Copies of this chain bind each other. A is one copy, B any other.
Amino acid sequence: MSLTADLIRGHTDSIILAHLMEKDSYGYEINKAIQATTGGDYELKEATLYSAFRRLEQAGWISSYWGDATIGARRRYYAITPSGQRFYYQSREEWQHAKRIIDALLP
């Protein structure tokens, strides 16, 4: 929801990478998965999602390839790279850290 959007700002990259840790995926599917795991409480806006893909690919944390487009709309699949995996683990630790800090500051 829009309520929490500002607070989750900055976590988009990690959230996307988390899904790519499981398996290669594409934009639409990732977004559906996020909605599913949060029970509809959160979703990425398309513009946010695709600008994140561009950012992540430029950083070398993901790579992309076109899926088989013999049927249906073509899909651009993304795969996480080794450095992307390292970045993900690091981001998760930073999240744990940030969480502790914010919890300490909001008594």
Measuring CB to CB, which residues of chain A are less than 8 angstroms from any residue of chain B? 3-4, 6-11, 14-15, 18, 34, 37-38, 41-42, 91-92, 94-95, 97-99, 101-102, 104-107
Contacts and interface: CB of A to CB of B under 8 A. Distances in A.
Given A4-B97, A98-B4, A105 B15 contact: yes
A101 B41 contact: yes
Contacts of A101: 4, 8, 38, 41-42
Contacts of A3: 94, 97
A106 B10 contact: no
A15 B106 contact: yes
Given A9-B9, A15-B105, 9 more contacts: A4-B98, A7-B11, A8-B102, A14-B105, A18-B107, A37-B105, A38-B104, A92-B106, A99-B99
